[in-house]
Homo-oligomer: A and B are copies of this chain.
């Protein structure tokens, strides 16, 4: 017994989401474009999209398009951590999580990133380098996270992409405190950071998963060492 056209479209769109072809936060293709792509009626598209919205996978806005939801967001309703809450202990915890997460993200991104994703990584890396001179600490922190989120987005693991997105958004002030605290105490951007970004980037382009994982983990470990040493100097 074959499934209805609507059900087939539901599965097709669901697979796109699960396979990270449509990432959390990203716009889903418009209903009219789906009509053209799949050759079905707009009412059929609407029913399929409505089912995914109902199941919590999509957020649909009248006139505003449909977006893929972060499926973990509902399980993590904590508010964004404020600068005042960004204690040293919490900074260490966030770095621990990042070390575990970003190593694996880099590993799989090295192996799985598609052509367009690699190009996006290259463009973002160049943009990050070009802006390394003269940018404020806030911009540097944001550029760093944009780069890492791109890596997470390119590893084709919906959980890693979703967790990264939540981590970087909810704990942005903690991550920013790590960077700005280190800068305040050492007077300069730690020189290893740029080198490590380069190592991560080169491993990604070389599709060397092990090297990417090592470089990413060392990148975070290096930051943690700096953080703890700076805390000791006080």
Number of copies: 2
B contact residues around A51 at 8 Å (CB):
50-51, 54
Considering the chains assembled together, what is the distance between the CA atoms of A54 and B4 in angstroms? 14
Assembly CA distance A43 to B55 (angstroms)? 20
Kindly state whether residue A46 has any CB partner on chain B within 8 Å: yes
Closest to A55 in B: B54
The reply to whether the CB of A47 lies closer than 8 angstroms to some CB of chain B is yes
| Complex CA–CA separation, A55 to B47 (angstroms) | 14
Q: Considering the complex of A and B, which 8 residue pairs feature the smallest CB-CB distances, nearest first?
A: A43-B43, A54-B54, A51-B54, A47-B50, A47-B47, A50-B50, A50-B51, A46-B47
A70 CB to closest chain B CB (Å) equals 21
Excluding A4-B62, A50-B51, A54-B54, 9 further A-B contacts by CB distance (< 8 Å) are A43-B43, A43-B46, A46-B47, A47-B47, A47-B50, A50-B50, A51-B51, A51-B54, A54-B55
